[in-house]
Structure 1
Amino acid sequence: MPIKTEIVDFLDKNLSPKSMVERNIDVVLYHYGFTGEVAPTLETTAQHFGIGTRERVRQILKQSLLSKANLDLLPTLNACNKVIGRKSLWLYSELKEAIKAEIGDAFGTSLQDLIYLIQDLGGAKGLTFFGCKFIELTRPAVSRSDECFITSKAEAKVYQKIMRSTRTLPGVLGIAAVGFIDPAPLLMEYYRKAIEIDPTSWVYHDGDKMFFMYEERDNFLINSAEKVFAVHREVDVKRLAKAMHNGLTRRGTKYAFPAVDLVERYLRESRHFDIDGDTIRFKGEQGGLTDIEFDTVDFLKQVITTSFRPLRDFLLSKGHTKMNIYIATNYSPLVHVTRNEKDEKQYALVGEPG
């Protein structure tokens, strides 16, 4: 039996006086989302019917349904509650499909409102809705979400801690791989999904491997782009990927850095860039250069392509140390490093030919 029909039949049989049946049924159906509104609050229900305060709505719900019914008296609703109880953590879409498999397309309301109704009748105890960071969502936030998690606050805290660590990792590596952080005791399926459904994440699957970056956080690749595009309006994406990869590899970490082709894939797919063939442009704000970066750019703009010694001597004349010069020329996203036929390193700006 459809849940809405089950609720209406119960109310029709149990409400009195009969003069209030129609209005009270309408209030119950509206508040639990059976008339099209998603997750109405007590306040919005009161406003919709013009019946005063949220407390008055609470009284109507209690007098009409909650004080009279229980899940044993509502078999279809009870079947939904039993499905929910099979697991301690659900993905919203996963639970929706599981309930559909049990009762068919007999919801008549959103899964969110269905759970609120079941909870008001004593089921689905302790469960609430959480976003990709496992922070609890408000009613409106759940309604706006394409996907979320349903679990207890205690279980969500375990996920919160590991997700905080996960969110910091790509900032150091540019792009991180799932598996660098052991998510135990989290389920890998939900750990991956938490990364995927984050609206700020970039994700790439290569077979069983999964790579990711959070694009709103501080990140070497984005920081590098801010510098490069302070010098150039557009650059060749392959040259930029190689220069960024060089910059990454001098950083100290126990984790593996992304390969050049993975950096290039990110640049081509990121929301921060526009791509036209092999030409890439940056949508973000330009960043400032350090003194040695400014001097390196100034020299390479004049000579276009050079070997190491002239560049080194120029930077030494500007007062820079040998160690800083080595880093600024060999590991800078601003500099494209190649080798000539004599296997000698050649240096040019990443946005210049050569």
Structure 2
Amino acid sequence: MLRKPVARIDVDALKHNLTRVRQEAAGSKVLAVLKANAYGHGMLQVAEQLQQADAFGVARLDEALALRAGGIVKPIVLLEGFFDADELPQIVASNLQVVVHQQEQVDAIVAAELDAPIRIWLKMDTGMHRLGLPPEQYQAAWQALSQSPNALPGIRLMSHFACADDLQCPDTLEQMQRFAQWSHGLGGDISLANSAGLLGWPQSHGDWVRPGLMLYGVSPLLGKAGADHGLQPVMTLCSRVIAIRDVAAGETVGYGSAWQAQQSTRLAVVAIGYGDGYPRMVPNGTPVLLHGQRFPIVGRVSMDMLTIDIGQQAVKPGDEVVLWGQGLPVEEIAALVGTIPYELLCNITPRVDFVYQGGN
């Protein structure tokens, strides 16, 4: 029995979550976002299981090329576009689509000599102020690309929300209004909604939705968990007990003696730590699941181990401990750490074994 961390990836849950996307945005095509190793879930394996999506989105060229090398033939969109005109021949050869978000990219495409035209998604900065053409430059960029033989007809129009996770914030409606104003009269499919837009702002669905986090069973909305939207957790991070320790009242545990027993108790040492991607800064009392019950982490998380207070419960070395996933939402752990679920999922290190379960 391996006494090391394992990330169990539930393929059936992944497919279920794609079905939920279809139900929520029935009139839209689905660009499934697989960047950052599919949010830590394994990019190629996830792509192989999401063949019912209409296209895949990645951040960078190397991610797209890895999917192509792995046999993925479905349309792939480079969400950060390209960084140098020298990449354009490779983009054409690999049949990739690109997001164009700055004037330099527009100019590079117009000036290039390419063997075939490229599918372009033209991005407007409606308020995120990260990537995207300023609204007042958008129509001119669209016009230049529409007249270029290097761009396929039917340029797709897109933007990205800054605050869609907060349903009380007016910024999302303002972004939609700004996009409608400055894209008025331009043809082409529209794509605005990420996971938060898809679940929280149905008027933003448009022709294409771009789910990322919700595909993996996690809520993108503030104060919500995936189960609130009918989603199922895809990753369950677990490890095993490697030792049981008796601790007397007044004794301390771990580096810095950061926790002191108030009464005699028993601790279970679990084989997982920040070297595996579990966050070092979880506070005392952060829950784990053992035998289906919650037990608190005590003391500091170290590189390879953490300790939990099991009291007088019957626990033995080899027993499985769930850190997040089925029965313990990753959203809850992220909130205790003061971060977001994205970071926890993406931080899993190669020391963790990935096991894919379910599916056909």
TM-score interval (norm. to shorter) = under 0.3
Larger radius of gyration: 1
Higher strand share: 2
Higher helix share: 1
Question: Normalising by the residue count of structure 2, what TM-score does the alignment of the two structures yield?
Answer: 0.23
